[in-house]
Structure 1
């Protein structure tokens, strides 16, 4: 069922950026050209959210906002990470639907009309699924293994090769606003709460310019946020594994004691078994403590309930209404 066409709909395009001085102007022009050629009947806004860039990205955003009132920008006071900033940008959008895409052109701009078409057909969420990618093949293999593992271990549906690139109806954006999650993992939230979803395949291109800011730490951070938010298996492994190892330790200790008491063939194994056991079980305990610590750290961040980001400045947003004085 198509949506009501009685008024001109507005599409918000949210573009998170960090040190993207070579890309912000080309990506904004590409989005504008796409609306002009493929979606002339739609109004639009482009909302950049800058995660405290240290290059000339902010200067370029000021120029863009000065030249086009439909381009807005939020400048964060600090870098609030790869999850909070895009999520916060989506919450600040004002369109009938919101599209989130990267500034580096890895998310193809020509998918925008495809997303809008599926949205008009009645889908509240349209997810871009990377069926092919020009990224490092080894990294893609690791991602595929990770998605398969999380999908098997989670009680909640997980969307493979979905990075957040997609369209979200304003009703779902309102749902996101009401969650008040200080550590949002958008991919998991979409899978868990998203209604009327349509998955659309696309090929991820190489970064057009600049250098990627993803590294092993950021990939690990993403993996652990998903793991601790949507699986219980880590805690179950620690519990069951700890019980099994405790039983094995008790049995080994009992056998060792019996052999010593019976003086079986002048049994003497020295300190080697003890040292091996201490090192093995000690390292295993550290692993489980670290695993449990990841869950506790995730809980702690949520309990503190800090803001998603702290804004330094807004560009091209309407001035807030002043409350009437008594």
Structure 2
């Protein structure tokens, strides 16, 4: 049973998704505890959701959880990806606010204080936004170009240079539960729900331990999901471009016909325009067939209604029963 004092004290949940982060989880926990010690007026729970790590991540977390009952662990039955697992962790939180904090220490734990301060000012969403990064300039530039692209294409206003790092009030988490999205683009859903956002800028530090778990496929998957979930512009571009190409083809054919009639003996187009036109139109068709396939794939994923993750084990959740 909770005491009356516990009932009055706000609970803040920190959710940390991890996969093969044996070099970072203990240090992350230590830094988070240092921050929480400066916020004695709140209660905290720290939920680690592990995507079936193959190293000692879970072993280290179990040791921490044995010493600290406020540390809770969810171990997935397999790797369910970098989108589904964090969302499932957020949905298991019981806090008045939830903070999403990844395990690689590239999101600075000391910013938790700033998030909570803005939350107490009345903001329901507080986001950490990277103004710059110590990662390679080329990668940061690519990410920036992507955020600019999706910002132009999206039907809603998405926050640029935010990876999900931030604080979310319970009024954001509860609609997320009702959406029952089997493959959620969390950053887009937060913008879809609405509410005024507080932005806190920071310099993203370089990863000091371990290697990144992102690769070209995961980055591409996130990028396409952000576009297909929140924009119909690519589909409309296909329609408009198809109409424009048809009109251009008609004009070119009329021009060729007129040139042939006027310069019958001297005009010879040859095969080059035919071959170039064939390859050009084929590439355009394949591009938009791919775009259409992304939308169909998204629909297919939605109608399957599979769970976000399947849990293999959970630790220290018994006191919530």
Give the TM-score normalised by the residue count of structure 2. Answer: 0.92
Distance in structure 2 (CA, Å) of the matches to 1:81 and 1:175: 22
1:114-159 Cα distance to aligned partner (Å, 9 max, x none): 1111111111111111122212111111111221222122220110
Matched, 1:294 2:294: yes
Aligned match of 1:28: 29
- CA contact under 8 A between 2:172 and 2:190: conserved in structure 1? no
Aligned match of 1:220: 220
Aligned match of 2:96: 96
Unaligned runs of 5+ in 1: 322-326
Aligned match of 1:324: none
Distance in structure 2 (CA, Å) of the matches to 1:69 and 1:111: 23
Unaligned runs of 5+ in 2: 1-5
1:236-257 Cα distance to aligned partner (Å, 9 max, x none): 1111111111222233334445
Distance in structure 2 (CA, Å) of the matches to 1:124 and 1:184: 20
Distance in structure 1 (CA, Å) of the matches to 2:194 and 2:114: 19
Aligned match of 1:13: 14
- CA contact under 8 A between 1:83 and 1:185: conserved in structure 2? yes
Which stretch shifts more, 194-203 or 22-31?
194-203
Aligned match of 1:211: 211
- Equivalent residues in 2 for 1:1-326 (5 A)? 7-36=8-37, 38-257=38-257, 264-265=264-265, 267-318=267-318
- CA contact under 8 A between 1:125 and 1:194: conserved in structure 2? no
Distance verdict in 2 for CA 1:157–1:252, change over 3 Å: same
SS at match of 2:53: coil
SS at match of 2:284: helix
1:252-282 Cα distance to aligned partner (Å, 9 max, x none): 3344455557771254333332222211211
- Per-residue deviation, 1:319: 7.5
Aligned match of 2:3: none
Distance in structure 2 (CA, Å) of the matches to 1:116 and 1:319: 25
Distance in structure 2 (CA, Å) of the matches to 1:101 and 1:188: 17
Give the TM-score normalised by the residue count of structure 1. Answer: 0.91
Distance in structure 2 (CA, Å) of the matches to 1:195 and 1:277: 49
Cα RMSD, aligned residues only: 2.0
SS at match of 1:284: helix
- CA contact under 8 A between 2:148 and 2:160: conserved in structure 1? yes
- CA contact under 8 A between 1:16 and 1:50: conserved in structure 2? yes
Distance in structure 1 (CA, Å) of the matches to 2:227 and 2:306: 21
- Per-residue deviation, 1:215: 2.0
Distance in structure 1 (CA, Å) of the matches to 2:7 and 2:66: 31
Distance in structure 2 (CA, Å) of the matches to 1:107 and 1:225: 23
